[in-house]
């Protein structure tokens, strides 16, 4: 039951991600794609800084005791948002999201298969390959 | 000519997203949800600011002159990041990915269909319905793969 609630929350967060993409496309056309991306990260960083100051048990110090490669998530985010702002006005949100999806599922297959990024090693199975093929077909249709 | 290039870009964008949610989920479990999301946004802001400062061509409109509602995208990004960092260690990457993808598709097809948020209208037609069915099928397969793996883990505890 608790899991179902968490999953519902994640689903709503996913819907929000598409709204973000829908807002970023037109904004990028007006003020420039990089500036549009900056607005996302700057506002996010400022809001979370506030949250951090008032969080009940701040664990900021533990952040820098982690292996360095665990901290590169912040470098990957901008790459994703830049791609989003460039592609959305040209091919539409639907097509953009399917392309992203394709890369996401493909990469998660590869990450799992080779056990990269500290994730546990899982062999590729028929289901996952089937899923990738169906996504490719959907992309071709859209 | 441009389309294959955009497609490759989109693939890279998706691959990066998969890598990011597994890295951030792990980091969030080791430190904290807010700490992990904070680091992601601060590093992103620093990098993009440098890019804007040196490479952005001048536009007539600026972030300070556009209608304010166009700036609300960040709120959705923050909620997404916090949710992912919270959810991945609790429900697993596969289930979280399936849920995010379902939400994204649902909303993106709605946005295109109605042209919400000042986007061009791209109505749902036969081939898009078929594409949607294929995507739902794909999500189902990812779910099945996850289920089967869970069963294997229960049957053969290592």
Task: Mark yes or no for CB contact B40/A73 under 8 Å.
Answer: yes
Task: Mark yes or no for CB contact A45/B117 under 8 Å.
Answer: no
- pLDDT, tens digit (0-9, with 9 covering 90-100), for A54-99: 877 777 778 788 888 888 877 887 788 778 777 877 887 777 877 8
Residues of A (84-103) whose Cβ lies below 8 Å from B: 84, 86-88, 90-94, 96-103
Q: How many domains does chain A have?
A: 1
Q: What is the pLDDT of residue A46?
A: 92
List, as one string, the DSSP characters of B28-74. Answer: HHHS-HHHHHHHHHHHHHHHHHHHHHHHPPP-SS-TTTS-GGGGTHH
Å between A113 CA and nearest CA of chain B: 13
Residues of chain B contacting residue A50, judged by C-beta atoms under 8 Å apart: none
Domain range for A92 is 2-141
Residue partners of B152: CB distance under 8 A and separation at least 6:
none
d(CA B24, CA B21) in angstroms, rounded, equals 5
Point out the residue among B18, B26, B48 whose CB comes nearest to the CB of A108. B18
pLDDT by residue for chain B (158 residues), tens only, comes to: 677 888 888 888 888 887 887 788 788 888 888 888 888 889 889 988 998 888 878 888 888 888 888 888 888 888 888 888 887 777 666 667 777 877 877 787 788 788 777 677 777 777 777 877 887 787 777 777 767 766 766 665 54
- pLDDT, tens digit (0-9, with 9 covering 90-100), for B60-102: 888 888 888 888 888 888 888 888 888 777 766 666 777 787 7
Q: What is the pLDDT of residue A51?
A: 87
Residues of chain A contacting residue B119, judged by C-beta atoms under 8 Å apart: 22, 25-26, 88, 92-93
């Amino acid at each position: 039951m608790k899991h179902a609630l968490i999953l519902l929350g994640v689903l709503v967060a996913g819907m929000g991600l598409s709204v973000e993409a829908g807002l970023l496309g037109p904004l990028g056309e007006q003020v420039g794609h990089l500036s549009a991306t900056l607005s996302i990260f700057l506002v996010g960083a400022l809001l979370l800084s506030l949250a951090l100051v008032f969080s009940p048990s701040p664990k900021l110090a533990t952040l820098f005791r982690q292996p360095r490669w665990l901290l590169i998530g912040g470098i990957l985010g901008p790459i994703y948002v830049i791609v989003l702002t460039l592609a959305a006005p040209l091919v539409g949100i639907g097509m953009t999201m399917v392309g992203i999806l394709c890369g996401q599922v493909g990469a998660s297959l590869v990450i799992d298969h080779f056990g990269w990024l500290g994730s546990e090693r899982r062999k590729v199975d028929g289901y996952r390959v089937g899923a990738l093929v169906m996504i490719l077909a959907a992309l071709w249709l859209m | 000519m441009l389309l294959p290039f955009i497609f490759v870009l989109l693939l890279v964008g998706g691959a990066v997203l998969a890598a990011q949610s597994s890295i951030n989920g792990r980091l969030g479990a080791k430190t904290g949800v807010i700490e992990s999301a904070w680091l992601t946004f601060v590093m992103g802001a620093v990098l993009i600011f440098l890019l804007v400062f040196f490479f952005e061509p001048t536009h007539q409109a600026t972030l300070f002159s556009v209608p304010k509602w166009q700036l609300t995208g960040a709120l959705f990004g923050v909620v997404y990041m916090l949710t992912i960092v919270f959810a991945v260690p609790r429900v697993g990457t596969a289930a979280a990915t399936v849920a995010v993808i379902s939400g994204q598709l649902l909303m993106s097809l709605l946005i295109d269909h109605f042209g919400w948020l000042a986007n061009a209208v791209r109505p749902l037609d036969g081939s898009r319905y078929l594409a949607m069915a294929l995507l739902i099928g794909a999500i189902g397969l990812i779910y099945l793969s996850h289920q089967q793996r869970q069963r294997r883990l229960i049957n053969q505890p290592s």
